[in-house]
Amino acid sequence: MTTTVASVVVGGSPLTPEQVLAVARHGAHVTLTEEACKAVRRGRERVESLARSETPAYGISTGFGALATRHIAPDLRARLQRSLIRSHAAGAGPEVEKEAVRALMLLRLRTLCSGNTGVRQATADTLAALLNAQITPVVHEYGSLGCSGDLAPLSHVALAMMGEGQVRDASGELQEAGAALQAAGLRPVELGAKEGLALINGTDGMLGMLVMACLDLARLLKTADITAAMSIEALLGTDRVFDEELQLLRPHPGQAVSAANLRALLADSPVVASHRGPDCDRVQDAYSLRCAPQVAGAARDTLAHARLVAERELDSIIDNPVVLDDGRVESNGNFHGAPVAYVLDFLAIAVADTASIAERRTDRMLDVARSHGLPAFLADDPGVDSGHMIAQYTQAAIVSELKRLAAPASVDSIPSSAMQEDHVSMGWSAARKLRRAVSGLTDVLAVELLTAARALDLRSPLEPGPATGAVSRTVRARVPGPGPDRHLSPEIAAVAELITRGTIVEAAESVISLD
């Protein structure tokens, strides 16, 4: 599913999650408002006044962290800012994805444009220009403790603004930053007082990844309702347990939404209607079918809380020290990532459990003792063919990994900076593992969708409902129906791509409305 946002204006109103995604993932152009430019100039005037003062001001005329007690002479302050960025650009490990880096850049630009950081207009303009030129600094997996902001990741961005370090150009080619800036007609920034600190002291990396995860999970939870409905049909389950009156007995908002989606998806389903009469001797379905809205609903409520935190953070100004509207420059602790880290971890739990219940439904469809008439492993010739046996192994391996990724990062803290920074959030680590978890959930749902579509084909001449039928036809346009064993890995990848692009949700919503 692509965005229609071509340009995002920074300054004044808080950014929305959808605007962040537009810039980060889809390359939307960034424009600064005149209001933002005026705020930047006001903040800079205050910083320059403090730089001329005899009174020490943290990060302006002093060192940083545990070295904050040293007064820095005026002729060393430009070097102070350069040294800060060079020393803090100390990341290690694999490159971080382009979209995560672009989200980080946009969110730091948003804070710069508040005027509360004290940077110069040229510095904010350069960061916007990097985004618009599709120049992406190389940021590494490790280096942020999620406190004093995402220091190392943001320092790699600031280093590129100085014309140093490595970047990826618009084509993805690895280049030295100086050469890439020159090719784009941009001049490196020469950092002034406080600017180095202002560029790196924020929760922008973990927040950017939270925002994107929230939007991706909104789509995946709709997909989970779709795959659950198809599995319920394939396993000859009932839709009576999703009755609105039953759901109102436990008034969790997410549960109500999920149950309503399941009712809509299963409406007018011939396969459900086929065993609704008095001849059916099934008393109640297994938990993985019957409790689908309780699990997916709890995940939805978790997501709603996480999005609320993300939106509050998008309306926050994170820097230390911060330039206040009355001209004061004050130290603070707003850079601590705990609010973001907690919900990143909370979402990883919801992702793991949503995947876990999906895997259990898949396993039921493959087990001849529990599938109510389907062939063993949905194989064409069981014994000769293995059907989807090992696809469920893949699900199980991913679910096991997701359980490990659900272990919270935010409960850990390793003191740093000679005990000056003695409690940290590990929010960046929580964000990194949540990204892996979201990818894993996508693959787990792809296997359930692939398996349920095959099982529904094997129920012929019984037909699925109009909405689930539309989804099955969408899958069949990319993946063949039942038959002798085939190479399954490309089929799983193809269905995962349909999920990621939003095509599966769009297919269902061509017939019904989903919340």
How far apart CA 305 and CA 316 sit, in angstroms, is: 17
Q: b/e for 370-409, b at 16 or more Cβ within 10 A?
A: ebeebbbbbbbeeeebbbbbebbebbbebbeebbebbebb
In sequence order, what E strands does 47-155 have? 92-95, 136-137, 140-142
Contact between residue 427 and residue 343 where contact means Cβ atoms under 8 Å apart? no
| Alpha-helical runs (H) found in 27-76 | 34-52
Q: How far is CA 268 from CA 76, 272, 284, 317, 468, in A?
A: 75, 8, 20, 51, 10
Of 410, 463, 422, 456, the C-alpha closest to 65 is 422
How wide is the angle at C-alpha 323 spanned by C-alphas 187 and 13, nearest 5°?
Answer: 75
Single out the residue of 174, 27, 162 nearest to residue 102, CA to CA: 27
User: Are residues 3 and 22 in contact, defined by beta-carbon separation less than 8 angstroms?
Assistant: yes
Half-sphere exposure of 364 (CA within 13 A, CB side): 24
C-alpha 37/C-alpha 121 separation (Å) is: 7
d(CA 252, CA 297): 8
Residues 6 or more apart whose Cβ sits within 8 Å of residue 385? 377, 379, 484, 485
Active site residues: 58
The CA distance from 341 to 426, in Å, is: 7
Give dist(CA 332, CA 221) in Å, integer. Answer: 38
Is the Cα dihedral 298, 300, 302, 308 positive or negative? negative
Could you give phi then psi for residue 226, rounded to 5 degrees? -65, -50
* Helix 338-366 × helix 204-234 angle, to 10°: 20
Cβ contacts of 440 within 8 Å, gap of 6 or more: 351, 355, 398, 399, 401, 402, 405
Tell which residue, 62, 82, 59, 60, has the closest CA to residue 71.
62
User: Distance (Å, rounded) from C-alpha 50 to C-alpha 60?
Assistant: 8
- Those residues whose C-beta lies under 8 Å from the C-beta of residue 51, and which sit 6 or more positions away, are 57, 60, 61, 74, 77, 193, 194
